[in-house]
Chains A and B, each alone.
Chain A
Amino acid sequence: MIELLAVSKTYNAGRVNEFSAVREVDLLIEPGRATALRGPSGSGKTTLLGLIGGLTRPSSGRVRLDGRDISALSERFLTELRRATFGFVFQQFQLIRGLSVLENVMLPATPSGRPYREVRARALRLLDDLGLAGRAEVKTQWLSGGEAQRVAIARALINDPKVILADEPTAHLDSALSRQILAILADLRAQGRTLIVSSHDPLVFEAGLVERVIDMRDGRVCGAGAPAGPVLS
């Protein structure tokens, strides 16, 4: 269970370029479900995802994970939590150029101290599951958009997280590739993981993946809880 209580995030506070990305958001996200944050560009979806996943701290308010206040955790505990509990799929894939697919997938496990063989075996299995079996040694800059996004998903799964946070996962993909990625995300949800997706791509809402849509505008939640189109119909 993820709870947000009066969460606000202001950047560059006190300076001329101060702006509030998220304002007074109260939200309850149930485990094991797929939730979408929907809204135009600049509505605060990405910042809210970052706040939920412990990538940044709220300027005010609380974020709780299973009843535990994570907004007050020290950097070390927050990082550990982020590594163990959340898997991130970023909008621009955010793979490290020059490293191989396998090295990129293994990255989140590097500081965990897990045995190398075990991590490597899991990474190869994940790549196999995502249809990238023969691409393990390829440098990431040579991948197509669909392949890069699948590598990013494999990387998000390397530490077997309970929650997957995906920021605009179909933003740079054509319709066919988008459907492929959405099918993978649906599989993850079917495995019992909590899925939180930010998007304004109609394909995401038409795919039947999302069980709950949270509309956002100007940093505020304006319609929480409306089911997505196909589920509604």
Chain B
Amino acid sequence: MVTMNTWIERQRALIDFSVANLGRRRGRNLGLFLAYTLLVFLLASVVLYGDALRREARLLLADAPELVVQRLAAGRHDLLPATWLEQVEGLRGVRGAEGRLWGYYFDPAVAANTTLLVPSASLSTSPPAPGQMVIGAALARARGLAVGDVLSLRGYDGKPYAFTLAGVLDADSELVSADLMQVNAADFRAFFGVDPGLYTDLVLRVANPREVRKVAEKVLQRLPGARVIAREEMRRTYEAAFNWRQGVLLTFLSTLMAAFALLAWDKASGLSAEERREIGILKAVGWETGDVLRMKLWEGALVSLCAFLAGYVLAWLHVFYADAPLFTAVLKGWSVLYPHFALAPRVDVAQIATLFFLTVLPFVAATVVPVWRAATLDPDEVMRE
């Protein structure tokens, strides 16, 4: 009967031996550890970053209106009349409705598309005063602007319109506000040539989330030329966009993973004649096949766990403290105006478990299988050498 103490002593002795054994092939094991750490670092960075972005988008959309109503003219988005607002305001289930004014503007100074918009009347902050503008932080950085500076933009009629910078938007919302320019309604209408009584679209607040679909149907009945977009659909679009970007990165990384798999297979599983001889010696002096496997398992576990921890911690620091410089271009999606924002650090147990099973288990299996094959041979091979 193996007592608990005997079992602990045995594992301790096996770990001691495994550590001594790892030290014997320092160069090889260090190389393996570094390659492994790099792989976990890249994979974990993509997963952590993608997840954090999706979470930020969800949080921001949580405040978005339940429904957006737009007008389609021959399939193209068109301005809608203020009468539409009156028609939907009275609908049962609608808590509030508001007409919005926004439009895209290509800013040649930074060669980027920006969005001009009139802030919602429901917000606590009042819209900018006439001739003033509040802009997103990324745009302010790209143009090198500070509060009080004057910004000149070319309007729909080709004439320059000058705005004084009255403020820069809060960095908390930078993921979606990086390219925003806020003006008041009168300035917006003058700049884009939008007549009074016309809006870009409408937003509806629906009190009961389960009624959103019903309200959308009623809107469509009343306004036959309308397109209704639910917040849920926007959320899915964001998710799809981030998933797609993450997928692209993971595809690139899959080549790296394949290279690592080859390296790991070669380094961990390719038993040299020397290693086979050593396994023979261990068996000859009284090690069971199981002891040899346990020792190799400890070896594999020590390398892979340390590399996993190191890779994950580095990825965590890379994403949450260094703003993920390696993946900004692909994952954030802005080509000119990169938003700067601090992602909220978070540890997700399910995510760690997934990464762990994807990286540690195949490695340990790659280590143990060939050893098992060698360890089941008769130890007298050692004597007959």
Contact = CB atoms under 8 A, between A and B. Distances in A.
Contact of A91 (B285, B287, B383): B383
Given A55-B380, A113-B9, A75 B289 contact: yes
B384 A110 contact: no
Contacts of B284: 55, 82, 88, 90, 94
A73 to B, nearest CB: 12
Interface string B37-74: 00000000000000000000000000000000000000
Interface in B17-50: 17, 20-21, 23-25
Contacts of A155: 285
Contacts of A56: 378-380
A39 to B, nearest CB: 15
B287 A111 contact: yes
A153 to B, nearest CB: 13
A196 B81 CA distance: 107
A27 B9 CA distance: 39
A46 B380 CA distance: 9
A98 B291 CA distance: 20
Contacts of A80: 286, 288
- The 5 A-B residue pairs with the shortest CB-CB distance in the complex, in nearest-first order: A83-B286, A98-B24, A113-B6, A50-B380, A56-B380
A167 interface: yes
B383 A90 contact: yes
A110 B382 contact: no
A13 interface: no
B13 A110 contact: yes
Nearest to B294: A111
Contacts of A46: 383-384
A98 B14 CA distance: 17
Interface string B364-385: 0000000000000011101111
Interface in A189-228: none
A75 B376 CA distance: 9
A32 interface: no
Contacts of B289: 75
Contacts of A159: 286
B285 A108 contact: yes
Interface in A54-93: 55-57, 75-76, 79-80, 82-84, 88, 90-92
16 contacts: A49-B383, A55-B284, A55-B380, A55-B382, A56-B378, A79-B286, A94-B284, A95-B281, A100-B20, A103-B20, A109-B13, A110-B16, A110-B17, A110-B291, A111-B10, A116-B9
Interface of A: 46-47, 49-50, 55-57, 75-76, 79-80, 82-84, 88, 90-92, 94-100, 103, 106-116, 119, 155, 159, 167
A114 B9 contact: yes
Interface in B159-191: none
A98 B385 CA distance: 20
> Which secondary structure dominates where chain B touches chain A?
helix
A103 B13 CA distance: 11
Contacts of B296: none
Nearest to A9: B380
Contacts of B10: 110-113
Interface of B: 2, 5-7, 9-10, 12-14, 16-17, 20-21, 23-25, 274, 277-278, 281-291, 378-380, 382-385
Contacts of B2: 113
B79 to A, nearest CB: 79
Nearest to B281: A94
Given A55-B378, A110-B291, A155-B285, A96 B383 contact: no
A97 B24 CA distance: 8
Nearest to B382: A94
Contact of B380 (A47, A79, A92): A47
Contacts of A108: 285-287
A103 B19 CA distance: 12
Contact of A111 (B24, B274, B286): B286
Contact of B288 (A47, A111, A113): A111
Contacts of A90: 281, 284, 382-383
B269 to A, nearest CB: 20
Nearest to B12: A116
A111 B291 contact: yes
A37 to B, nearest CB: 13
A110 B20 contact: no
A74 to B, nearest CB: 10
A167 B283 CA distance: 17
B285 A107 contact: yes
Contacts of B277: 94
Contacts of B285: 83, 88, 107-108, 155
A55 B284 CA distance: 6
Nearest to A99: B20
A11 to B, nearest CB: 9
A144 to B, nearest CB: 20
A205 to B, nearest CB: 21
Contacts of A55: 284, 378-380, 382-383
Contacts of B385: 91-92
B383 A110 contact: no
Nearest to B274: A97
A122 B277 CA distance: 26
Contacts of A109: 13
B380 A111 contact: no
Contacts of A107: 17, 281-282, 285, 287
